[in-house]
Structure 1
Amino acid sequence: MQNVLGSYFCNEFKNFQFFYDDTIGECFPFLYKGCGGNGNNYKTISDCSKCKEQLEMEKNPECERGNYLLTMSTSEGFRPVLGRRCEHNFCPLGFDCVQGRYLAHCCGQLYDME
């Protein structure tokens, strides 16, 4: 997630807030300019840590009963196919995209090929 410091100064006070750096997997403080910004802007480290926990859960998604998760083979074993948003249309034919708060994954049904 990108850290946005706030796009402009306004009548609000500048203060330290926190953002989650998903490349490192940690929350960091920054001086918020008062207005603007994006959703990666937390008033407390505790709020930022909740985001981190949610993102970690979404990196290991599960599909509803009767469906299976689309995975791909990597050097570290099978990993789920993840995207940022379902609007990116990354799930192949036969799979539905399931949007989480931060990430999306693909779920499909097993078909009997007989």
Structure 2
Amino acid sequence: MILVMLALATVPFAQASSNDKACFASLDRGSKCEEHGPVIKYYFDLELMTCFPFLMEGCSSGKNVFTSEQECYNRCTLADEFTCGANSKPQGHCTAADDHACKNGTRCVLGPEIGYCCDAKTQDAWIAEITPKCQEGELVEANFWYGKTRYLGRKCEHKFCPEGSECIEGKWRAHCCSRNKEIPIEAS
């Protein structure tokens, strides 16, 4: 276990685990064209190590384009990979949520095999952004293969929110709010 912790301590953060060059490419939403209409696709964000939806305009998009969220994660991350909120650098390692190995101002965040001592303020801000509330209307949710979940993107300029909803952008993520009770989104 100690060898695993030492090995993880040397792994730099904010790097994709994949050799797939598409994961390292910047987002290019493409351009409007007559051959193909706009469609929601997913891209891998290297800064946050997360797959996000975006509206692909139709033609000439870049390489960092995946048909589904699952395909994006399968190609760009390891199954047991995790980081502190906002992909911030861990301040140490821990083995239980109440582990006293984490110094003041940090909190133990458990992953599949090991835990990280993560900055508490960053974790709180991160949790607030992945569990957003709408001041007006309802939070737009999507139906994925694994169930219904919050429909979160990276930036409003990526135009991932469905028609009839408003995009609200935070520091790391954006979410969609709708006055309609429910806007059905079938995500792949």
Structure 2 residue matching 1:101: 3-state secondary structure: coil
Instruction: Structure 1: state its 5+ residue gaps.
Output: 4-19, 30-44
* Residue number in structure 1 paired with 2:105: 46
Give the CA RMSD over aligned residues: 3.3
* Residue number in structure 1 paired with 2:14: 2
* Residue number in structure 1 paired with 2:150: 80
* Residue number in structure 2 paired with 1:28: 90
Structure 1 residue 62 corresponds to structure 2 residue 130: no
Bigger helix share: 2
Deviation string 1:29-62 (CA, Å, 9 cap, x unpaired) is 5xxxxxxxxxxxxxxx838331122111211111
CA spacing shift, 1:56–1:25, aligned 2, 3 Å: farther
* Residue number in structure 2 paired with 1:38: none
| C-alpha deviation, 1:68, in angstroms | 0.9
Structure 1 residue 97 corresponds to structure 2 residue 167: yes
Measured in 2, the distance between the counterparts of 1:52 and 1:61 equals 14
Measured in 1, the distance between the counterparts of 2:133 and 2:146 equals 19
Instruction: Structure 2: state its 5+ residue gaps.
Output: 1-12, 16-47, 51-80, 92-103, 107-118, 182-188
TM-score between both structures, scaled by the size of structure 2: 0.36
* Structure 1 residue ranges, 4+ long, deviating more than 6 angstroms after superposition: none
| C-alpha deviation, 1:2, in angstroms | 3.2
TM-score between both structures, scaled by the size of structure 1: 0.55
Deviation string 1:47-104 (CA, Å, 9 cap, x unpaired) is 8331122111211111114x01110123443111111111111111111100111110
CA spacing shift, 1:75–1:28, aligned 2, 3 Å: same
Bigger strand share: 1
Measured in 1, the distance between the counterparts of 2:161 and 2:14 equals 24
